[in-house]
Structure 1
Amino acid sequence: MKIATPYYLIDEKKLLRNLQIIEQVRQLSGAKSVLALKCFSTWSVFDLMREYMDGTTSSSLYEARLGFEKFGKETHAYCVGYSQEDILAVAEFADKIIFNSVSQLEKYYDIAKSAKLGLRVNPGISHSHFDLADPARKHSRLGVVDKDILAKQIPRLSGLMFHYNCENDDFEMFSQQLDAIGDSYGDMLRELQWVSLGGGLYFTKEGYPVEKFSKKLADFASEFNVQVYLEPGESAITGCAELVTSVVDVVHNEMDIAIVDASVEGHMLDLLIYRLSAKIEAGEMGNHKYMVAGRSCLAGDVFGTFDFKDKLEIGSEIRFADAAGYTMVKKNWFNGLQMPSIAVCRLDGTVEVVRKFTYSDFLNNLS
Structure 2
Amino acid sequence: MQNSELKTPYFMIDESKLIHNLEIAKKLKEISGVKLVLALKCFSTWGVFDIIKPYLDGTTSSGPFEVQLGYETFGGETHAYSVGYSEDDVKAVVEQCDKMIFNSQNQLAAYRHLVEGKASLGLRLNPGVSYAGQDLANPARKFSRLGVQAGHIDPAVFDTIEGVMFHMNCENKDVDAFIGLLDDISANFGEYLDRLQWVSLGGGVFFTWPGYDVEKLGCALKLFSEKHGVQLYLEPGEAIITQTTDLVVTVVDIVENEMKTAIVDSATEAHRLDTLIYDEPASIAEADEQGRHEYVIGSCSCLAGDQFCVARFEKPLQQGQRLHIMDSAGYTMVKLNWFNGLRMPSVYCRRSTGDIELLNEFDYSDFKRSLSQWSVS
1:295 maps to: 300
Deviation per residue, 1:143-173 (Å, 9 max, x gap):
0014563422111111010101111111111
Partner of 1:5: 8
Choose from 228, 232, 239 the match for 1:228: 232
After the TM superposition, which residues 185-334 of structure 1 pair with which residues of structure 2 at under 5 Å, given as runs? 185-281=189-285, 286-334=291-339
How far 1:282 moved relative to its partner? 6.6
- Corresponding residue of 2:140: 136
Check whether the contact 1:168–1:174 (CA below 8 A) recurs between aligned residues.
yes
CA distance in 2, matches of 1:146, 1:210: 30
Distance across 2 between alignment mates of 1:335 and 1:20: 40
State the match for 2:114 in structure 1: 111
Deviation at 1:352, TM superposition (A): 1.1
Per the TM alignment, residue 284 of structure 1 is displaced from its structure 2 partner at its CA by 5.1
Q: Is the 8 A contact 1:265 1:334 kept in 2?
A: yes
| Offset of residue 283 of structure 1 | 6.3
Alignment match, 1:365 = 370
Match of 1:335 in 2: 340
Q: Take 1:93 and 1:74, find their aligned partners in 2: how far apart are those partners? A: 10
Structure 2 CA distance for aligned equivalents of residues 146 and 202 of structure 1: 26
Of residues 95, 99, 108, the one that matches 2:98 is 95
TM-score, normalising length: structure 2: 0.96
2:66 equivalent to 1:63: yes
My pick for the range that moved more, 182-191 or 67-76, is: 182-191
SS in 1 for 2:148: coil
In the TM superposition, residue 309 of structure 1 has moved relative to its aligned partner by 2.5
Q: Using the TM superposition, give the Cα deviation of residue 291 of structure 1 relative to its aligned residue in structure 2, in angstroms.
A: 0.8
Secondary structure of the residue aligned to 1:365 is helix
For the 8 Å contact 1:123–1:181, the answer to whether it is kept is: yes
TM-score, length-normalised on structure 1? 0.98
Q: Deviations over 1:234-285 (max 9, x none)?
A: 1010100010000110111111110000001000000100011111237655
Q: Whole-Å Cα distance in 2 between the matches of residues 53 and 197 of structure 1?
A: 16
* Matching of residues 25-36 of structure 1 within 5 Å: 25-36=28-39
> Is the 8 Å Cα contact of residues 144 and 150 (structure 1) preserved in structure 2?
no
Tell me which residue corresponds to 2:84.
Answer: 81
SS where residue 52 of structure 1 aligns?
A: coil
Change in Cα spacing, 1:234 to 1:150, as seen in structure 2 (3 Å) is farther
Secondary structure, aligned partner of 2:159: helix
Determine if contact 2:129/2:168 at 8 Å carries over to the other structure: yes
CA distance in 2, matches of 1:284, 1:315: 19
- 2:61–2:80 contact (8 Å) kept in structure 1: yes
For residue 49 of structure 1, what is the amino acid of its counterpart? I
Q: Identity rate of aligned residues, in percent?
A: 51
CA distance in 2, matches of 1:222, 1:311: 58
- The question of whether the paired residues in 2 share the 8 Å contact of 1:98 and 1:120 is answered with yes
The reply to whether residue 121 of structure 1 matches residue 103 of structure 2 is no
Q: What does the per-residue CA deviation read over 1:90-135, in whole Å, with 9 as the maximum and x for residues that have no partner?
A: 1111000000000000000100112101000001001111000000
In structure 2, what is the Cα distance between the partners aligned to 1:351 and 1:284? Answer: 28
Amino acid at match of 1:207: G
Gaps of 5+ in 2: 373-377
The Cα of 1:187 is off from its aligned counterpart by 1.2
Q: How far is the alpha carbon of 1:348 from its aligned partner?
A: 1.3
The root-mean-square deviation of aligned C-alpha atoms, in Å, is 1.1
What is the CA–CA distance in structure 1 between the aligned matches of 2:214 and 2:95, rounded to whole Å? 37
Separation in 2 of the partners of 1:125 and 1:224? 20
Contact 2:32 2:218 in 1 (8 A): yes
SS at structure 1 position matched to 2:157: helix
Distance in 2 (alpha carbons) for counterparts of 1:78 and 1:287: 50
Distance in 1, matches of 2:286 and 2:230, equals 43
* Aligned equivalents of 2:47, 2:56: Cα separation in 1: 15
Structure 1: runs of 5+ lacking an equivalent: none
Deviating beyond 3 angstroms after TM superposition, the runs of 4 or more aligned structure 1 residues are 282-285
Aligned ranges 1:155-170 → 2 under 5 Å = 155-170=159-174
Q: Which amino acid aligns with 2:46?
A: W
